[in-house]
């Protein structure tokens, strides 16, 4: 099952054409820039939260681009469930940004006030769903990538390698992105 549609011509299509080192730099360089301010400002949890948030956004955009493209390619083999996948990506982004701002505000104040008690109570189920949403999104993309590679339905065991490589993005991008570029090279 080779991709039959042309690669999307959107700004996010950069993620399909990019070299592994470009994605690695896009993911790590902004966070390193934020962390470079630690000697001047001192290390604070807000800086760590900001750095982690900056790292997660390109990773989630990469997952969304791959999931949307591979979902269209594999739709004849496996139902794509694109709405659920897209919801999980958007939910993860919104949750990540909202939770980062919430934690930054708590650290700025120095304590959790009464007004944050309810918010933190509601954050626990939201965080559990966010964890599920991220795992599901990575599995969705890994499964579809494996289907395109094997040109048939894939078992969970066959998907596991791509799942681990995508989940640990800074390392896995060096192996996964060349595969992706190879699969979509003829679409350009």
pLDDT digits (tens, 9 = 90+) for 12-38: 778 888 888 888 888 888 878 877 777
Q: Measured between alpha carbons, how far is 24 from 29 in angstroms, rounded to an integer?
A: 8
The structure tokens listed for 187 are 């679409």
Q: Identify the DSSP state of 12.
A: G
**pLDDT at residue number 3:** 44
- pLDDT for 67-77, tens place per residue? 888 888 777 77
Helical spans, DSSP H, in the chain = 14-17, 20-35, 38-41, 45-73, 82-109, 114-150, 156-167, 169-184
Q: Measured between alpha carbons, how far is 88 from 94 in angstroms, rounded to an integer?
A: 10
**pLDDT at residue number 2:** 47
**pLDDT at residue number 14:** 81
Burial class (CB in 10 A: 0-12, 13-18, 19+), 117: exposed
**pLDDT at residue number 23:** 87
- Name the pTM for this structure: 0.81
**pLDDT at residue number 1:** 47
The parts of the chain modelled with pLDDT lower than 50 are 1-7, 187
Q: Measured between alpha carbons, how far is 156 from 82 in angstroms, rounded to an integer?
A: 19
Query: Nearest Cα to 165, choosing from 49, 94, 66, 25?
Result: 66
Q: Measured between alpha carbons, how far is 67 from 89 in angstroms, rounded to an integer?
A: 10
């Amino acid at each position: 099952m080779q991709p039959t549609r042309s690669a999307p011509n959107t700004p996010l299509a950069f993620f399909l054409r990019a070299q592994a080192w470009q994605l690695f730099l896009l993911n790590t360089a902004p966070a390193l820039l934020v962390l470079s301010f630690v000697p001047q400002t001192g290390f604070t949890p807000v800086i760590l939260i900001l750095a982690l948030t900056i790292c997660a956004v390109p990773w989630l955009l990469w997952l969304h681009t791959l999931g949307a493209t591979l979902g269209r390619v594999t739709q004849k083999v496996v139902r794509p469930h694109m709405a659920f996948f897209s919801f999980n990506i958007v939910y993860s982004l919104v949750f990540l940004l909202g939770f980062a701002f919430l934690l930054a505000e708590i650290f700025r104040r120095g304590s959790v006030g009464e007004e944050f008690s309810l918010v933190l109570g509601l954050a626990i189920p939201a965080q559990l769903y966010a964890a599920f949403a991220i795992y599901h999104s990575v599995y969705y993309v890994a499964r579809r990538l494996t289907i395109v590679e094997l040109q048939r339905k894939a078992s969970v065991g066959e998907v596991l390698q791509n799942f681990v490589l995508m989940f640990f993005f800074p390392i896995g991008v060096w192996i996964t992105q060349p595969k992706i570029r190879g699969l979509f090279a003829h679409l350009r």
